[in-house]
Amino acid sequence: MSETVEKVKAPGEPLFSKKNRKLITDPLTDNNPVTVQVLGICSALAITVQVNQAIVMGLSVIFVTMMGNVVISMLRNIIPSRIRIIVQLVIVAALVIIVDQILAAFLPDLSEKLSVFVGLIITNCIIMGRLEAFAMGNKPWPSLLDGFGNGLGYAGLLFIVAVVRELLGSGSLFGFKIFGDSIEKTGLYSVGYVNNNLLVLPPMALIIVGIIIWVQRSRNKALIEDH
């Protein structure tokens, strides 16, 4: 949360100027909130056993991050500094309740599977970090883009982890069987590979995230911390 607040949008600046576009693209690559900032790891461990769960959680975080950023940005000049964290938590909690009620109404099965993890969005460090580090010092439009970019970076990581875990752990994608006794076995399955039940356990999600972090830092040495 100690990140330096940047003033992004100058008067007359195009809505999708180079600086504003970077607010979306940077969290997808060299400033990903999960692989670079190592935030939001808990949900990556818990709900990536199925792709549909990861997508719903990702979309939920995108919505909360975007709307939270906009609301905080609009109120930034009238929020007393002493209670700003409390105000941020109240706003995020209200948005999470909206998400939870929508999921319960339209996707009850997924809502039950995600259960407490939707509520834990309130304490997601990605959201609170962007509210404090960015929305409190910038106008609504760049704050909206920043929220979208960081939420998308989080959702993309969850999607990648979920695809690996569900495909190789359960032999399915989106709940539909890809490999099984009733389907002609292909690829690794043709030489005797069977579904790896270890992949559906939470520790394996951490290992996959670790591999992604290793690959990213191998490709971009600037991300390696100096000791």
Count of all residues that appear for the chain in the document? 227
Q: What is the pLDDT of residue 58?
A: 93
Positions in the chain short of pLDDT 50: 1-6, 9-10, 182
Give a yes or no: residue 212 inside a domain.
Answer: yes
pLDDT in the model for residue 191:
62
Cβ atoms of 154 and 61 within 8 Å: the answer is yes
Q: How far apart are CA 211 and CA 66, in angstroms?
A: 29
Q: Which amino acid is at 151?
A: G
Q: Is residue 22 part of a domain?
A: no
Amino acid at 123: T
Structure tokens at 163: 């695809």
- Rounded to the nearest 5°, which phi and psi values hold at 125? -65, -25
Count of domains in the chain?
1
Residue 103 included in any domain? yes
Examine residue 16 and state whether it is found in any structural domain, yes or no.
Answer: no
At 6 the pLDDT is 47
Q: Which residues contact 97 (CB under 8 A, 6 or more apart)?
A: none
Considering the entire predicted model, what is its pTM?
Answer: 0.84
Residue with tokens 């010092």: 137
pLDDT at 9: 47
* pLDDT value, residue 134: 95
- Residues whose CB falls within 8 Å of the CB of residue 33, separated by 6 or more in sequence, listed in order: 27, 39, 40, 126, 129, 150, 153, 154
- The confidence score (pLDDT) of residue 42 equals 75
Domain residue limits at 65: 31-223
pLDDT at 196: 75
Residue at 128 is within a domain: yes
